[in-house]
Copies of this chain bind each other. A is one copy, B any other.
């Protein structure tokens, strides 16, 4: 018997609210969408919840969540009825399909059969990272308003790092009327920071003397704020760590020194699932076209 599959049929496995929002966005675009492992989450009526077998039998494109796996052994699927083990058998079922997922390296390591699968990682795409940074920066603004008891307008802010999030965030802060300093290492980045109408300082100089900031945002995935540096911040300073785990702040020392340090994780997946989903969708569309 010949298996007929609609080439615009998407099957989404696992994930959380962001993956659910992705299903909705694809369905709104007119695609056929099947999902497995999003039990209990609200979904567009056009999205079809179904069994794993049915999904795999009928989907030309399979989309795994971000991250695709948290433990390196099972799919990241907190809303699934049971764990989905990433093994040879699972990989085999994905052959002859297009597979997209986020942070796929740990998935590829689960079976040699992945070498034969047409699989791609949307997380490694620049346009994904840039747009994600924009939404993350918005989330950081909301965290800052909530955690800081003063007004962003006129506040003294430090953004450590001028990568994508640093760039997006420093402009938003400046746009909201904050007095913004940004740290970077390269002379070229220091020049761009000045063009953003922010003050530029070398990252290495952070903590060399008393730091007058009301709010500090860390975007660098390295220990930029050890005890020695935290001791230079003023008491009552709010420090928001946006770097992925293990982060760049000695939280224990912060507590002792009266610095109010906050780890802002899961931005933007949790705070803006729809925006995060649309970014994944557009990135996958770009990859499908190439």
Selected contact of A142 from candidates B125, B141, B186, B190, CB within 8 Å? B141
**Cβ–Cβ contact A138 & B176, under 8 A:** yes
Least CB distance from A18 to B in Å reads 10
Q: A9 CA to B187 CA in the complex, in Å? A: 25
Complex Cα–Cα for A191 and B148 (A): 21
Task: State which size class the interface on A falls in.
Answer: 35 or more
Contact with B along A139-161 (1 / 0, CB 8 A): 10110011011111110000000
Bound-state CA distance A125–B186 (Å) is 11
CB pair B149 A274 closer than 8 Å: yes
| Copies of this chain, whole number | 4
Contacts of A191 in B (CB 8 A): 126-127, 130-131
- Please state if A153 and B134 are interface contacts (CB–CB under 8 Å): yes
Which residue of B is nearest A148, CB measured? B272
Contact between chains at B145 and A195 (CB < 8 Å): no
Cβ–Cβ < 8 Å partners of A187 in chain B: 125-127, 286
Task: Render A96-137 as a binary contact track against B, CB cut-off 8 A, 1 for contact.
Answer: 000000000000000000000000000001110011011100
Tell whether A241 is near chain B: CB-to-CB under 8 Å: no
Say whether A50 faces chain B, with CB atoms less than 8 Å apart. no
Q: Which residues A146-185 have CB closer than 8 A to chain B?
A: 146, 148-154, 168, 172, 175-177
The answer to whether B188 and A130 touch across the interface, beta carbons within 8 angstroms, is: yes
A16 within 8 A of B: no
- When distances are taken between beta carbons in the complex, the residues of chain B under 8 Å from A130 are 188, 191-192, 195
A232 within 8 A of B: no
Q: A153: which of B176, B194, B286 is its contact (CB, 8 Å)?
A: B194
Give 16 pairs: A residue, B residue, CB < 8 Å, sorted on A: A126-B186, A130-B188, A131-B194, A134-B195, A138-B152, A138-B153, A138-B176, A141-B145, A142-B142, A149-B275, A150-B274, A153-B197, A172-B176, A175-B175, A175-B176, A177-B197
| Extra pairs beyond A150-B272, A168-B195 (12, CB < 8 Å) | A126-B188, A130-B195, A135-B153, A138-B151, A141-B142, A141-B176, A145-B271, A150-B274, A150-B275, A172-B175, A175-B176, A187-B286
